[in-house]
Amino acid sequence: MKRLVYRPGRHFLQIPGPTNVPDRVLRAIDAPTIDHRGPDFAQLGLEVLDGLRSVCRTEGHVVLYPASGTGAWEAALVNTLSPGDKVIASETGHFATLWRAMATKLGLDVVWLEGDWRHGADPERIADALEPDTRAVMVVHNETSTGVTSRIADVRAALGDHDALLLVDTISSLASIDYRHDEWGVDVTVGGSQKGLMLPAGLSLNAVSAKAIEASRTARLPRSYWDWAPIIKANETGYWPYTPATNLLYGLREALHMLLEEEGLENVFARHARHAAATRAAVHGWGLEVLALDEREFSGALTAVVCDGSDEVRRIILERFDMSLGAGLGKLADRVFRIGHLGDFNDLMLAGTLSGVQMGLHIAGHDVGDGLGAALEQLAR
């Protein structure tokens, strides 16, 4: 029988999601469950839906599901499209690839724009791929596997007056990186609870435009649980047509208060950008390379570091310093490690994270420079 060893201090969870859940949010979740048909719940429901509209920067409907982000992917597709519809998707990384696979399984005709996993969605290539019968364009805003952020406003502009719907995955960018559903002309935004919203996994959302609602009236992909219409109807009075995740909604209300009322979204975005810049300074100080190549597409939520044999580095860091880093996914397996710097995160947490990475790289035999010093200099400015 393996002997259990107590490890003092908190585990450093520096994967790019699920992220650290603030103690205040955990305490909010740890409250008695209430009647989800009673008046107290209605007040809770209306409050969190209003807060989510502010986070998504939309005046339209936000549909919230007790599901992971994968569920909200499917909801975005089945509510707006019909079998055989042509959609364009850009290969920006592992999660874009998974969303494409889902669309194909659902019977959609996916025009796949291959990419190198080091750049975001190319607006010009998307525009060139448009056909008269293109029904939708699918883009991952922040690719969690690569640390590359696509320029959604530029993609929207490239669509011109084409009638295609714009579907955007913001699972690792919402409440971390500047995002504007209405202003950027997005039709369906896909989000999840376990990253910038600082909650456990278990809630996901679609923010939907009037154009997307109109498309849902004639879309013919099968849907039942994911159907927007009964949820939007029930949400008018703060309820859901099924049993909601009441205790996660308690946590969401607390997280929204912290993000919107106490820190403010603009400050949240600035904090994430600052930590991302300091992390990149550390990577360059180590003599390593950031995976993202276009500085316009650097992610504020995570940094993917090019490092052959990265799984061994991650193993050492976990065993020696009780810190988890993100693995390389798909064709980046054992070629990168990912440092998450999103959610409930501050300067000293970043300094501790980068210190652990630097020590782990040394122990693994990598001849690296003082990246930590470079990051601290950046933070001190």
pLDDT digits (tens, 9 = 90+) for 131-146: 999 999 999 999 999 9
For residue 178, which of 63, 260, 273 has the smallest C-alpha distance? 273
pLDDT tens digits, 335-354: 999 999 999 999 999 999 99
Give 62's DSSP letter: E
Tell me the whole-structure pTM to 2 decimals: 0.97
Kindly state the helix (H) or strand (E) to which residue 276 belongs, with its residue range.
Answer: helix 265-285
Question: What is the pLDDT confidence band of residue 1, given thresholds at 50, 70 and 90?
Answer: low
Q: What is the pLDDT of residue 5?
A: 81
Q: Report the alpha-carbon distance of residue 48 to residue 66 in Å, rounded.
A: 14
> What is the structure's pLDDT at 192?
98
CA gyration radius for the chain?
Answer: 21
Cα–Cα dist 92/118, whole Å: 7
Tokens describing residue 177? 């990186």
pLDDT interval class at 2 (50, 70, 90): low
Phi, psi of 142 (to 5 degrees): -120, 110
| Across 26-49, average pLDDT | 98
Neighbour tally for 362: CB within 10 Å: 13
Average per-residue pLDDT in the chain? Answer: 97
Indicate the pLDDT class of residue 65, thresholds 50, 70 and 90: very high
pLDDT tens-digit map of 84-121: 999 999 999 999 999 999 999 999 999 999 999 999 99
Look at residue 217 and tell me whether its pLDDT is greater than 90: yes
* Burial 104-140, CB ≥16 within 10 A → b, else e: eebebebbbbebebbbbbbbeebbebbeeebbbbbbb
Name the token pair of 232.
Answer: 């939007």
User: What is the reported pLDDT for 208?
Assistant: 98
Average pLDDT over residues 156-175: 98
Strand order in the sheet with 86-90: 61-65, 204-208, 188-192, 165-169, 134-140, 86-90, 109-113
